[in-house]
Copies of this chain bind each other. A is one copy, B any other.
Amino acid sequence: MIVEMRRGTTKEEIDGVVQRAKSLGLGVQLNVGTDKAVVAILGSNTGQLSTDIFAVLSGVESVIRIMKPYKLASREFKAEDSLVSINGIEIGGKRIVVMAGPCAVESEEQLMEAAKVVKGAGASVLRGGAFKPRTSPFSFQGLKKAGLELLARVREEFGMPVVTEVVDSHDVNLISKHADILQVGSRNMQNFALLTNIGKSKCPVVLKRGFSCTITEWLSAADYLLAEGNNKVILCERGIRTFADSTRFSLDISSIPVIKRFSHLPIIVDPSHAAGHYSLVPAIAKGAVAAGADGLLIEVHPNPKEALVDGPQSLTPSDFTRLMEELRSIAKSVGRYI
């Protein structure tokens, strides 16, 4: 249930609602905005309670049931768009935030070169994987701790925030020390132990859509993060698994307006993993910005042919620079900038 308080409600009235909920053994999450406050009442048995229990309390404007399984990620709980701020870069506002870099951190030289290129072309955040979840145990699994240290060094050198993937719930602390944004990969979107730990860390997080998960499941996964009090959640559409065989995954462009309709969270798009081939990345990236994405996550490698992971889908520095020019023009046409 979502309890909407009257404008000008007092702290005591809000407390009254919270106490009533707690007395019934229910959880509570607050969204106190500048002109009104909303209380989400959480708990699996909410369905059996009457809304009257809260409607009669002082200061309550209305009480609505949410039939969707997700609550905290919903527009009902928070009507205005959420902005996630990372070192002064705001995601979810007028600016389209581009995160770019190699799939995997391979060496200091590679990462420095990549950072130079993507920063020069206008990207705001550097991406790079230190822990790589690979389909086979016999594939390259990333540089791990050494990779994290390289990321931290490059972040220092270039003054760029860094995003990197976390694959084990017990690595959250370690990785959040070296990176500014944690990334939950598609295969871990429903790894609830991992989500809970990242929720507790309060670290900004990019939550990639599971490649076969519905939008309801995705927003419910976001609820695992939000329920722990971490509201720095950025959604990332990266393509879904379908019968189509011309691309690695099918980018679900419609997820952008669907998310904007049902959720307050910002959404970025990863065209590289969806496409699986560099030649298709620019068109998808441009489509995503025009459709309303708040940012992009793009693979760029100084030398794609020698990449240890995902070379075929990485842009070269010059391709990326050209794409950024085109994206600026499209961003402007929809009233935004990069």
Which residues of A come within 8 Å of B, CB atoms? 27, 42-44, 46, 69-71, 133-140, 167-170, 187-188, 190-193, 196, 211-212, 214-217, 220-221, 223-224, 227, 240-247, 250-258, 260-261, 274-275, 279-280, 282-284, 286-292, 326, 329-330, 332-334
CA distance A243 to B46 in the complex (A): 29
The contact of A244 among B134, B140, B214, B332, by CB within 8 Å, is: B214
Q: A169-B170, A291-B287 are in contact. Are A214 and B254 (CB under 8 A)?
A: no
CA distance A227 to B135 in the complex (A): 13
CA distance A217 to B243 in the complex (A): 12
Q: A133: which B residues are within 8 A, CB to CB?
A: 190, 192
- 18 A-B pairs whose Cβ atoms sit less than 8 Å apart in the complex: A69-B136, A137-B223, A168-B193, A170-B193, A187-B191, A188-B191, A212-B212, A240-B250, A244-B254, A250-B254, A257-B279, A257-B280, A257-B282, A257-B284, A286-B291, A287-B287, A287-B288, A332-B333
The contact of A283 among B257, B282, B283, B333, by CB within 8 Å, is: B257
Question: This chain: how many copies in the complex?
Answer: 4
Q: A190: which B residues are within 8 A, CB to CB?
A: 133, 135, 187-188
User: Which residue of the partner chain B has the closest CB to A261?
Assistant: B279
Q: A282: which B residues are within 8 A, CB to CB?
A: 257
20 new A-B contacts, CB < 8 A, other than A212-B243, A242-B252, are A42-B138, A46-B138, A136-B220, A137-B196, A138-B227, A168-B169, A169-B169, A188-B190, A188-B191, A211-B212, A212-B241, A214-B243, A214-B245, A247-B254, A250-B254, A254-B275, A254-B283, A260-B283, A283-B292, A326-B334
Judging by beta carbons under 8 Å apart, are B251 and A280 in contact? no
CA distance A111 to B186 in the complex (A): 35
User: Which residue of the partner chain B has the closest CB to A293?
Assistant: B287
User: Which residue of the partner chain B has the closest CB to A255?
Assistant: B246
Judging by beta carbons under 8 Å apart, are B257 and A224 in contact? no
CA distance A255 to B192 in the complex (A): 28
How far does the Cβ of A252 sit from chain B's closest Cβ, in whole Å? 5
User: Which residue of the partner chain B has the closest CB to A328?
Assistant: B333
CA distance A31 to B316 in the complex (A): 35
Q: A279: which B residues are within 8 A, CB to CB?
A: 257, 261
CA distance A224 to B141 in the complex (A): 12
Q: A136: which B residues are within 8 A, CB to CB?
A: 69-70, 220, 223
Judging by beta carbons under 8 Å apart, are B138 and A223 in contact? yes
Q: A244: which B residues are within 8 A, CB to CB?
A: 214-215, 240, 252, 254-255
